[in-house]
Structure 1
Amino acid sequence: MEYRQLGRSGLKVPVLSLGTGTFGGRGEMFSKWGTTDVQEATRLVDVCLEHGLNFFDTADIYSSGASEEILGAAIKGRRDQVLIATKATFSTGDGPNDKGSSRFHLIKACEASLRRLGTDHIDLYFMHGYDALTPPEESLRALDDLITAGKVRYIGCSNFSGWHVMKALATSERYGLARYASYQGYYSLIGRDYEWELMPLALDQGLGTMVWSPLGWGRLTGKVRRGQAGDGRIAQGGAAGGPIVDDEYLYKVVDALDIVAEQTGRTVPQVALNWLLQRPSVSNLVIGARDETQLRQNLGAIGWSLTDEQVRMLDEASQRTPIYPYWHQRDFDERNPKPTRW
């Protein structure tokens, strides 16, 4: 297992972490993602640790807290061997203060996550979304207090716009508060919007990016092709609320993945994951797995690298014209270089 530094922090993380959105299956949406129980989750943790994957990602809203509970049970007795990331901000109840990033909600949410996980600290605590109603200094002061209290080790943000992140970083610097060490966001071969602004920001400000849904909401598993809808989460309606992807664009990318997979003797998802691991700013990919077979296949994405020519082939197949002002900025690379060429 390869380990990378998480942004400018001193924390080393494996390049793959296991996402636990499939744990629990509670509620209409999460039941379509997976229904992994404690016994199955314990086996997945066993396999992960055997391969050096000691990082597990969850959130308080996954299966209404059941994901955290099951993960906590699966790591019981070996907490010192693992890193845990969880998240807060989204609604966890019907009350007016059961959501957001206020001091009131964050402290309450953190305490609840600690109880469900059966631990005394969270290694990486993410703001799951941006709360424009709460002043950033209030959120960051609360997070700083949680760090001082030993309940949180590092903090991060997820699904923020670029200016949201920069405002938070500036607030931390101004008041001497703990700084976001990581950004967690969507990025895949069929979802490269991250490269337009968030990637340059992460490189400039030293944020280690954790990628969620690196297989494009299940579209890059190799099961979805022309005339073939697949039998996974998408076929069951588990991609509802995700990004819309034009069919022809998807097929073009999958065609390129098929060629590279044949050249490398790897699977389509392994190639798609390996491409991401060669992108600037990426520290970690959050992989999902319904069962041990899927997990072992995804673990096969590491320990090798695509050639420059194979990367170019995948880059060209997945290239799309960015929105303004990013397409305009491409003509000024001498003074405004971009980490990738879209």
Structure 2
Amino acid sequence: CIGLGAAAFGVAPLAEDADRLVGRALDLGINLFDTANSYGNQPRFDRPYAPPASARLSAEEILGRALGARRREVILCSKVCEPVGEGPNQSGLSRLHIMDQVEQSLRRLRTDHIDVYYAHHADPLTPIEESVCAFDDLIRQGKIRYYALSTFNAWEMTEALWASERCGAHAPVCNQLSYSLANRAIEEDVIPACLRFGMTVTAFSPLGGGLLAGEPTLARPLSGAARWGYEGFSDNQRALARKFYDVVKGWGLSPAAAALAWLASRPAVSAALVGPESVEELEAAASTGDLQLAPALLEQLEEIGRPEPRSWY
């Protein structure tokens, strides 16, 4: 399924445009909404045309306001781990930080529970048992329905699953990871681990940060990692994208539709989170619907971005 990612709410779209975007998503049947306690009003999200971080609402506040009375219609997801202030207790997966941040997220989202609460990243400074038990307590308290992992590699994910078994706690239900035709690294070990343990993958950046969305997006100055202050698309990435465009054009498909349909065909993938900056981009992503790619096209796409086999010798 397609979900709406709210990572850039407050800058793309601006806060005043988010209500319309969320409303249109609901009308299109999208019922998965994803955010985090660290999104929106941190300096790394600054854009030249947007208010400074100190003057912006958080993405959680914007999403909570936009959902309003329709909150019960959706699966609402948020995350905890990234820094939200100065000091050792303002980040990570300690029990103290998880318990503190869930209360703040509930307030900002205007809800009494979060449906899926993610460990945003692995925390090497906190025993995984402490984190797992904290999430388990939140489930038992009714403040979250499930917890999940985000950007955990295969061994970190396996460690979390083992810890939940040792502690008699609920296990995480999925792993949210960057996955697209342009970034297939998780196929080597994370997806096999998910299949082995019965976990699903929620894919973020399914269009590679705009790389697979088409030439107009490719030409934007703030696309790809440039949105977060890093380098834009490399020459190799652009070459991959244009090869992809040529293939799907021959099948009469838009790049975005083909990229999302390819992702839906992959093992373990249960959802893809799109981050449209406008209603028009949202509608284009949602129009993918139940599109199934022809086997011959899937064979062609399989050669694009395929990870190089690892040699142990």
Using structure 1 for the length normalisation, give the TM-score.
Answer: 0.82
Asked if the contact 1:157/1:183 (under 8 Å) is kept, the reply is yes
The Cα of 1:205 is off from its aligned counterpart by 0.6
Given residue 231 of structure 1, which amino acid in structure 2 is its aligned partner? R
Distance across 2 between alignment mates of 1:36 and 1:187: 26
Asked if the contact 1:218/1:233 (under 8 Å) is kept, the reply is no
In structure 1, what is the equivalent of residue 182 of structure 2? 190
Distance across 1 between alignment mates of 2:235 and 2:125: 38
The one of 72, 83, 88 aligned to 2:75: 83
The one of 157, 177, 183 aligned to 1:165: 157
Asked if the contact 2:138/2:144 (under 8 Å) is kept, the reply is yes
The Cα of 1:253 is off from its aligned counterpart by 4.4
Asked if the contact 2:185/2:307 (under 8 Å) is kept, the reply is no
The one of 216, 220, 224 aligned to 1:231: 220
Structural mapping, 1:331-342, within 5 Å: none
Distance across 1 between alignment mates of 2:95 and 2:257: 41
The one of 26, 36, 54 aligned to 2:14: 36
The one of 21, 46, 56 aligned to 2:7: 21
C-alpha change, 1:324 and 1:120, in structure 2 (3 Å) is farther
Structural mapping, 1:92-107, within 5 Å: 92-107=84-99
Deviating more after overlay: 248-257 vs 48-57: 248-257
Distance across 2 between alignment mates of 1:67 and 1:196: 33
Distance across 1 between alignment mates of 2:79 and 2:275: 17
Distance across 1 between alignment mates of 2:191 and 2:307: 16
Distance across 2 between alignment mates of 1:199 and 1:94: 35
| 1:58 and 2:44 aligned | no
The one of 45, 48, 65 aligned to 2:22: 45
* SS at structure 1 position matched to 2:175: strand
Distance across 2 between alignment mates of 1:110 and 1:235: 30
The Cα of 1:251 is off from its aligned counterpart by 1.7
Distance across 1 between alignment mates of 2:230 and 2:206: 16
Distance across 2 between alignment mates of 1:236 and 1:306: 28
The Cα of 1:260 is off from its aligned counterpart by 1.8
The Cα of 1:241 is off from its aligned counterpart by 4.2
Extract unaligned runs of 5+ from structure 1.
1-14, 26-33, 329-342
Deviations along 1:131-173, whole A, 9 cap, x unmatched? 0111111101110110010000011011111111101100111
Distance across 2 between alignment mates of 1:145 and 1:207: 21
Deviations along 1:277-307, whole A, 9 cap, x unmatched? 1000000000111110000011122222111
Asked if the contact 1:85/1:125 (under 8 Å) is kept, the reply is yes
Given residue 117 of structure 2, which amino acid in structure 1 is its aligned partner? Y
Structural mapping, 1:68-147, within 5 Å: 68-147=60-139
The one of 201, 207, 210 aligned to 1:215: 207
C-alpha change, 1:273 and 1:254, in structure 2 (3 Å) is farther
Asked if the contact 2:10/2:59 (under 8 Å) is kept, the reply is yes
The alignment's C-alpha RMSD in Å is: 2.0
Using structure 2 for the length normalisation, give the TM-score.
Answer: 0.89
* SS at structure 1 position matched to 2:210: coil
Deviations along 1:161-219, whole A, 9 cap, x unmatched? 11111011001111110100010001111110010000001111111110000111221
| 1:305 and 2:292 aligned | yes
Given residue 230 of structure 1, which amino acid in structure 2 is its aligned partner? A
C-alpha change, 1:42 and 1:246, in structure 2 (3 Å) is closer
Asked if the contact 1:58/1:67 (under 8 Å) is kept, the reply is yes
The Cα of 1:317 is off from its aligned counterpart by 2.5
| 1:247 and 2:235 aligned | yes
Distance across 2 between alignment mates of 1:142 and 1:322: 38
* SS at structure 1 position matched to 2:283: helix
In structure 1, what is the equivalent of residue 44 of structure 2? none
* SS at structure 1 position matched to 2:58: helix
Deviations along 1:49-71, whole A, 9 cap, x unmatched? 22211110001110136100000
Q: How many residues align?
A: 298
Deviations along 1:234-285, whole A, 9 cap, x unmatched? 289315447x86524542443233332341x321111111110100000000
